[in-house]
Structure 1
Amino acid sequence: MILTASGFFVFLLCMPAVQSLDSWGGTYSSTNICAVNGSTVEISCIYTYPSKIKHQVNTVQKTFWFTQRKDGEPVDLKTDSEYAGRVEDLCENNICTLIIKNLRESDSAEYRFRFITNKDAYTASPGVTLSVTDPDLLMNVMEIMIDQGISRTKLQCRSRCLLPHDPSYIWYKNGQKIRAETFTHSVNFYSADSFSCALKGHEKFPSPSECVDGQNCNRVIHTDRSICAFKGSSVDISCIYSSYESITDGFWFSPERSHQGQNHSQPEDLSEDSQYKGRVQILDTERGRSTLRISDLRDSDSAQYLFKFKTTSFEWRSDLPGTTLTVTDPDLKVQVQVQGGKSSSWSKLQCYTSCRLPHGSSYIWYENGLKMAKETFSYSVYFGFASSYSCAVRGHEDFPSPPVCVTGQTCNRVIYTEISICALKGSSVDISCSYNSYKVYVNSKFWFSPERSHQGQNPSQPEDLSEDSQYEGRVQILDTERGRSTLRISDLRDSDSAQYLFTFRTPSFEWGSDLPGTTLTVTALQVQVITSTVHQSYTYAELKCRSSCSPAGVSYVWFKNNEKIIKEERSLYEDRFYPGDIIFCALKGHENCSSPLLYALKFPVVSVSPSDDIMEGSSVTLTCSSDANPAANYTWYKENGNQKLHPLTKERQLVFSSIQVSDSGEYNCTAENELGKRTSERITVDVKYSPKLPSVSASPSAEIEEGSSMTLTCSSDANPAADYTWYKENRTLFQGAEGSYHVTSISSEDRGNYYCKSENQYGEINSTSLFVDVQYAPKPPSVSVSPSAEREEGSSVTLTCSSDANPAANYTWYKKNEDSAKASGQIFNISDFRAEHSGSYSCEAQNKLGRSNSTFHLIVVTGAWKSRAVGITTAVVLSVILLSIFLLIWKKKAAKRSSEPGEPPDNSKQSPQEELLYANVQFSKNQADPLSSNIEDSVVYAEVQFHSAAPRSQMSATEESTALYSTINTTRTQ
């Protein structure tokens, strides 16, 4: 059954009256009523009264409803401004009905009915307690049907409180809104589904999500709908959750925070949000329960917080509201409980608040404006009727509770109308308070500022502001009614921003000043950009002259480029603004207190630090500056041809802590505010660095043949460009800015290791070695014979052929007049050397580039030749010896004859025995033709000739010669 306002009303009227018609009485239809914000409630009372009193007619003169108040007489609700237009009072047949429409939370109170007759007045007590609250909805499962395997249910949304007339509903399935607007809803479902409902217009207060079947459906239920907490404190926000499948991920998020990201549909995990870094903990103390703990609460933390989970095939939606956190200043009150009855002078004081206090909070208590030593949230005190009490949370002393009297309303106290006031520079402000003194005449009262008093000689004695020279002519004290004082300060200045307090004195009492007073903040006007449209050369914008405390009913003056705009006296101003335009505003009559200047964006200027050469690895800062108000937002870009890369940073400075070569390039920045966007000129960043490791190459890179040309190239990355030096085996070959070394006709002597050096003013570096392999045809071979002594018949002879060639040569042995090769390889071995082996041999060296050979002669020495040679040799030696002896003797005789006087020498008479013999030894050697490709290694012969000594005229006739041949070891021929 759904309770409607009318149905509820009928139910209430059916209650019987218990009083007799002849007695005073009043019976209410109910003593407690719960109603939803915005709904209508009807409260009825049946009243009775005696028709006659002492035989005189008793008639009703007036009926009305009122709320119970602690002070003053009852006030008819129809005359109360808080209920204007929302209250009706219908009376008929001793039944009076109060109708209150569009209920508010402030309407929560106890309502009583009172009637006045010509003889007396009567109030029906106790009254009716009305609680105006948010919807308290529940979802009921009316029935479940299964047809052909399909499950279907009928759901009902109901409330314990009175609802607005003809309400509409919103239904949710698995946290996601579905289309349905009636209080009942029929739908197909699965065991994993959960459902919830809400009253349209009250979506923040849905019913808890309920499973249709079992308790393991997908759902999230937040423990609190709203939480109030103090700045600087900590708060725990909790929920319970369940899933039909295994949960793979779960996290807390805030829709307000998520909307600040790039993808609104993807909520951001608060534990990864930089704004909550170090202040957020996720506590999963038990399965199916998660708690978000936020520490050091700030104003910006006021937001809605929700929990979300995912499975492999399901994601909980976030259409349902979570927990709303309000971070505020303390809203403290002191509750007084008199102990031991009305005649007792003992009371229990308790400090309480509607918000959650920080864990382990300490308290400060004040008596008559002076701080006490108590630090607990409650304590018992022996009070005097003149005393008032106040409390505050330590750390939040600027927000104490209002002082309260323990009894009555005439204790000593000061209550400031406002904790803080913001006022415009150049304007006026009224700072007010109400005060009481316990039945004692006040003989002194004044306003003062603690900041101003401390500038005097005695800090403990506050100084009356009306006597302060800094306020001379600008301060008035207005006492328009008893118990109320107002401080008016005119022509406000920045220095007037301070705290202001009121104090009073009686002959025996002075109000203390430990409690804070009213804090005044003097602020200047600001020019705010409401809308703007950026064009290529100008910006069209709508501006507003405002401050954080703009007064009403004042006129404004606008200035553009220091010229007053006559036609504008409103707070709004629209116009075209070009780069460099200056705009400001002021209150009319207070032009000397104008707003700060607003600049239309000028073109930004870029600077580089350091301004000299930028070395690789150094720290470099690019700064973008634009004279702008509102302050400009900056973005840095690096040019890449005609395409711009993604923004590098959105800071005013682009900082390279260790700049690299890749950072070289052209940069510019943009400056942007509400009045446009401008781009700077490009600036070039040229990163200098010493040469990198050079790379070396040879061209041609393949085989290099002797006689061809070759180019060696050295390349090294350097800024500025490097100079190069080429080396071969530490011998300098070339120096210059070009890294190439040319050889026009390369020879075998050029073969070897090469490297280069690159250098600039910042450093130098050597390359790795490059081996140049010059290839050439074999040079004329050389042949050696082993053994080198006489080669006898039957001995072993080893011939070795060697030729300088690249690539290495292959060797082939030939014998003259034979068609086929004798052997291949560098060594040719004859194991049994015989006479047939004598003759001319040649060795041929060959590679792919050419061939070359060498010819030589071998002779075998047999046994007969050896004996004959020995005999001939012996005879020759003996002949030489005998001839030598003969010549010696002959010389001696000739000497004697020549020594005789008168006998000249007679050459004609010489005998044949006296002939001289000459031994002529000649060596003949066949020189090979150096231009021939076949070079013969000739056998060298020793030719011995003997000649008889005769007169030169006769030598031709008598000359005889004998040639002797002797085998000499073969010698190498070049």
Structure 2
Amino acid sequence: MRRFFTCRRVLLTLTSLRESRGAAMSLTAAASGFLVLLLTVPVIQGQYGWGVAYTSTQICALKGSTVEIRCSYSHPSTNEFRNAKVVERFWFTKTSNDVYVDLRTDPEYSGRVTSHCENKVCILTITNLKKSDSAEYKFRFTTNQPDGKYTGSPGVSLSVTDLQIQVSRLHVYGSYNWAEMKCQSSCRPPGHHHYIWYKNRQNIQTQTSISYSGNFNPADIFSCAVRGYEDFPSPPVLIQSQSDWGVTYSPTEVCAFEGSTVHMRCSYTYPSTTYPAVQNTFWFTKEKGGKPVDLKTDSEYSSRVFYYCYEKWCTLTISNLKKSDSTEYKFRFTTNQNGKYSGSLGVTLSVTDPRLQINVRRSTLHLNSTWTELTCQTTCQLPKYVSYIWYQNGEKKKEEQVYFHPHPLNPEDNYSCAIKGHETFPSPLVYAPKLPSVSVSSSAEIVEGSSVNLTCSSDANPAANYTWYKENQTHPLSEEPHLVFSSIQSSDSGQYYCTAENQLGRTSKYINVNVKYAPKLPSVSVSPEIVEGSSVTLTCSSDANPTANYTWYKENQTRPHGEGGIYRFTSISSEDGGIYYCKSVNKHGEINSSSLILDVQYPPKLPSVSVSSSAEIVEGSSVTLTCSSDANPAANYIWYKEDEDSPKASGQIFNITDFRAEHSGSYYCEAQNNRGRSNSTLHLTVVAETWKSAVFGSTSAFFLAIIGFSVFLLIRKKRATRQSSEPVEVPDNREQPVERDDIHYASVHFANNQTDPIYSNVRPAERRIYDEVEYAAVKFKSAGTSPRSQENGEDPDELYSTVNKPAEHNRNR
């Protein structure tokens, strides 16, 4: 065993809270302190190299002061623990099922405890000491090695007390009252310090010593405090005297439970010059015939009252208290020299129901374990020997202490306590929150933009704390019972849950918030490529609550083009292209979508081809061929000549600047895009310049001949008519020749090599398929008649025309 021999001084510093205890005791706290020097005995604890040494086993401190508790520790240095490293060090006072509660995590010490460790020495500092801090404090440390942990036991016992006033002497000289009092405590610090004395709650400025030696009036109340710590005065003391006769009560007010036992104490004095002997002492509340009635003789207190008096101290004990016992109690004594005295102001007793309350403290030391402590307490100060009964779910537990540590802690359990012997007056039940009730302020629909209030409530004791969350979110929205939306939005829709929690448990309840709102701007969609003849679907959707109804419209059309959020074309055509939009409507409003352009793609239609010249194409002239086709996307154009594989040109226009005989023939234009192709044919024939003159001459002669022949026929008809209507005179000289009208002939001569007609024919056709060419031929007979003509019986004067036409089936090709 490793031993530690240390003798250290414990520094005890009293700190001032500097807060006013009320208008009657409003004082300015001084920045001062004092030391408590304690000679300590070494506390040696150790086993196999493990040890903790405390510098003191007993420490006494005043209420409101600050105390420091020191220790040093060690662990083995053997090979097994050569690499041992301390990973945790803390002070504790309590354990719960072998779980050590670090004081820094104990709510009772919150904000009042610090721990500092250096070079294997640790100091625990507790400020603003309370009487409840009186306990045994121990130090524990653990290492990173298996089983490498140790607790110094026993620890350091701390006693926290307050100041008390002791009346050492009391004298009365006529109307002059004089007393000597001392401000003392079992933890009175050594050395010279200033004290503050109060009389009737007012500061006595001239009194700064530990003792007060001065006059007083009957019924004056005194208290004292250490300067700088005026917030922690002694209990008030009432001093009553008359001509050296006096009674002092401490305390002057007592609170007790119905059915409990109470103790009231006083001290008394009387003149010492006559050396009287006290013959009788008793307590009373009533007077009969002007004389006090001893409680022992009062039937209401029969067998419930007990007196104990010793050396001018007398204690009244009343058991089985009743509410009717609430009154003022006074002490009276008499001497053998007919001396008698009663305190004019006594002790006021208040008897109430045992209003016990359970205080719940909870601290988490490890993630997987909790420590919970229940304390049975009341506003009345109970004696230390009182025993308690604890109940869990109505079942009595064996523990009879003021503290109870439920393990395991079940949120479904409830707890209560009572004073032993007064089980009929248990405390209210404490329990974890029940399943919360959640509600919404509006019983009707929740409409966007309105104010909405969600409320959460739960039956719990202690009262529950509430926190609001939205589903799938970790940060709280509110830490109050209410979650308020001043102007709720559609995005606020969803599941919300309220958590009700106290020190005994936690539970949650969900509520669905369904915000109704007018349709938002609809989104419209269609497949990116639309081909003629395919099936096409237009889709319209809008965020709305309740669900919206949809209507489709086409540009410049006031009637609905389609119903529903989906509009289908089973076989779309180019005529269906255009601008569309849909309307979204519910009972809260309506809105139109943005425009949707429906671009229908299709292959080129049959091209239209044309030539720049409407007359004959003369050799050497310039010729422009044009091709156009309706297509989406726009078509590309390629020109071909029959019987040639290579294209002649690309583009919508094909120019031939110097047209020759070899350019004659059939041309076709092919229009194509990524959806298909189509073509049309154009037939071109060239005419030489000499041919043109001959043709024009022949044509003129032809028309002159027709005119002359027509005139001849007309004249001949008129003569025949005139001869038939007038008598004919026969000339005498018949041999004389008869006069005739002159007949004019127009002769048209065609060269042999100019008999072919000039033509230009444009006709659409499929690629390399040509329509039959229609020819018109006009024939004239010459003035001379060939033998062949006479043999055939042809009239040399006959003018005729022959038109060669294609067969009917060719015409309709």
* Rounded Cα–Cα distance in structure 1 between residues aligned with 2:615 and 2:95: 106
2: CA distance between counterparts of 1:667 and 1:914? 121
Q: Quick one: which amino acid aligns to residue 196 of structure 1?
A: G
Aligned residue in 2 for 1:613: 445
CA displacement at 1:326 relative to structure 2: 6.7
Q: Deviations over 1:753-802 (max 9, x none)?
A: 55544443445566666554433121222346679999765565554433
- Given that 2:129 and 2:160 are in contact with CA atoms closer than 8 Å, whether structure 1 keeps it comes out as no
After superposition, residues 312-711 of structure 1 pair within 5 angstroms as 319-320=151-152, 330-332=162-164, 354=187, 364-366=196-198, 371-374=202-205, 378=209, 383=214, 390-392=223-225, 396=231, 399-400=234-235, 414-416=248-250, 421-425=254-258, 429=262, 431-436=264-269, 484=314, 486=316, 492-493=322-323, 520=350, 522-524=352-354, 606-610=437-441, 611-614=443-446, 619-625=452-458, 655=483, 664=494, 685-690=512-517, 691=519, 694=522, 696-698=524-526, 701=527, 703-711=529-537
Find the counterpart in structure 2 of residue 837 from structure 1. Answer: 663
Distance 1:796 1:170 in 2: 124
CA deviations on 1:65-88 (whole Å, 9 max, x unpaired) are xxxxxxxxxxxxxxxxxxxxxxxx
Q: Of 843, 852, 855, which residue of structure 1 is paired with 2:681?
A: 855
CA contact (8 A) 1:365 1:392 kept: yes
Alignment of 1:45-84 (within 5 A): none
- Counterpart in the other structure of 1:53: none
How many pairs are equivalent?
A: 629
2:606 alignment partner, one of 775, 780, 794: 780
Distance 1:503 1:869, change over 3 A: farther
Alpha-carbon distance, 1:336 to partner: 9.7
Q: Is the 8 A contact 2:672 2:678 kept in 1?
A: yes
SS in 1 for 2:197: strand
Instruction: Measure the CA separation in 1 of the matches of 2:120 and 2:574.
Output: 87
1:408-445: per-residue Cα shift (whole Å, max 9, x none)? xx8966241x5774422477755332233565999xx9
- Which of the residues 129, 136, 160 maps onto 2:42? 136
Alpha-carbon distance in 2 for matches of 1:483, 1:477: 17
CA distance in 2, matches of 1:323, 1:355: 23
Q: What pairs up with 1:190-209 in 2 under 5 angstroms?
A: 195-197=50-52, 206-207=53-54
Q: CA 1:480 to 1:934, structure 2 compared with 1: closer, same or farther past 3 Å? A: same
Cα separation, 1, equivalents of 2:253 and 2:798 = 154
Given that residues 329 and 399 in structure 1 are in contact (C-alpha distance below 8 angstroms), is that contact kept between their aligned partners in structure 2? Answer: no
C-alpha distance in structure 1 between counterparts of 2:539 and 2:463, whole Å: 53
Q: What RMSD over aligned residues (CA atoms) do the two structures have, in Å?
A: 7.9
Contact 1:607 1:624 in 2 (8 A): yes
Q: Aligned with 1:431: secondary structure?
A: strand
Q: CA deviation at 1:365?
A: 0.6
Rounded Cα–Cα distance in structure 2 between residues aligned with 1:879 and 1:493? 159
Amino acid at match of 1:378: S
Deviation, 1:696, is: 4.4
- Tell me what 1:98 maps to: none
How far does residue 585 in structure 1 lie from its aligned partner after superposition? 12
After superposition, residues 80-95 of structure 1 pair within 5 angstroms as none
1: distance between equivalents of 2:483 and 2:477?
9
Secondary structure of 2:662's match? helix
Measure, in 2, the Cα distance between the counterparts of 1:934 and 1:741.
44
SS in 2 for 1:378: coil
Residue 607 to residue 709, structure 1, CA distance change in 2 (3 Å):
same
Q: Is the alpha carbon distance of 1:665 and 1:911 closer, same or farther for their aligned partners in structure 2, counting shifts above 3 Å?
A: farther
**Aligned equivalents of 2:235 and 2:141: distance in 1?**
42
1:921-942 alpha-carbon deviations (Å, 9 max, x no partner): xxx9989679x78999999999
1:15 aligned residue = none
TM alignment of 1:800-949, pairs within 5 A: 800-858=626-684, 863-864=689-690
Q: Residues 747-762 of structure 1 correspond to what in structure 2 (within 5 A)?
A: 747-752=573-578, 754-762=580-588
Contact 1:604 1:671 in 2 (8 A): no
Please give the alpha-carbon distance, in whole angstroms, between the structure 2 residues aligned to 1:934 and 1:234.
116
In structure 1, the gaps of 5 or more residues are: 4-33, 35-130, 138-156, 158-168, 172-179, 186-194, 198-205, 209-222, 338-344, 449-463, 467-471, 530-544, 562-569, 571-581, 891-902, 904-908, 916-923, 947-955, 964-974
Mapped contact 2:238–2:252 kept (Cα < 8 A)? no
Per-residue CA deviation, residues 232-265 of structure 1 (Å, 9 max, x unaligned), is: x7777788999999999999866579989xx968
Partner SS for 1:749: helix
Label 1:751 to 1:420 Cα distance change in 2 as closer, same or farther (>3 A): farther
Distance 1:959 1:794 in 2: 39
Report the AA paired with residue 539 of structure 2. Answer: T
Letter in 1 for 2:268: Y
Alpha carbons of structure 1 residues 430 and 828: separation in structure 2 relative to 1, 3 Å? same
| 2:60–2:160 contact (8 Å) kept in structure 1 | no
Aligned residue for 1:712, secondary structure, equals strand
2: CA distance, partners of 1:632 / 1:752? 68
Alpha-carbon distance between aligned partners in 1 of 2:101 and 2:306, rounded to the nearest angstrom: 58
Q: In structure 2, what is the equivalent of residue 724 of structure 1? A: 550
State percent identity of aligned pairs. 34
CA distance in 2, matches of 1:600, 1:307: 33
Please say if residues 301 and 325 of structure 1, whose CA atoms lie closer than 8 Å, have aligned partners that are also in contact: no
**Offset of residue 673 of structure 1:** 12
Q: Could you tell me whether the CA contact under 8 Å between 2:221 and 2:237 is conserved in 1?
A: no
Query: Residue deviations 1:807-857, cap 9 Å, x none?
Result: 443432122354543234444343443343244322111234332222334
Could you tell which deviates more after superposition, 715-724 or 323-332?
323-332
Shift of 1:391: 0.9
| Distance change (3 Å), C-alpha of 1:856 and 1:800 | same
- The separation in 1 between residues aligned to 2:358 and 2:108, in whole angstroms, is 27
Aligned to 2:540, the other structure's residue is in SS state strand
Check 1:287–1:926 CA distance in 2 against 1; reply closer, same or farther (3 A cut): farther
Q: In 2 relative to 1, CA 596–317 (structure 1 residues): closer, same or farther, beyond 3 Å?
A: closer
Q: From the superposition, tell whether residues 670 and 286 of structure 1 become closer, same or farther in structure 2 (CA, over 3 Å).
A: closer
Residues in 2 aligned to 1:322 and 1:693: alpha-carbon distance in whole angstroms: 76
Name the CA shift for 1:814/1:653 in 2 (closer, same or farther; >3 Å): same
Higher relative contact order (CA 8 A, sep 6+): 2
Q: Is the 8 A contact 2:440 2:453 kept in 1?
A: yes
Change (3 A) 1:311 1:597: closer
Q: Distance in 2 between matches of 1:350 and 1:912?
A: 178
**Change in CA separation of 1:275 and 1:428 when aligned onto 2, cut-off 3 Å:** closer
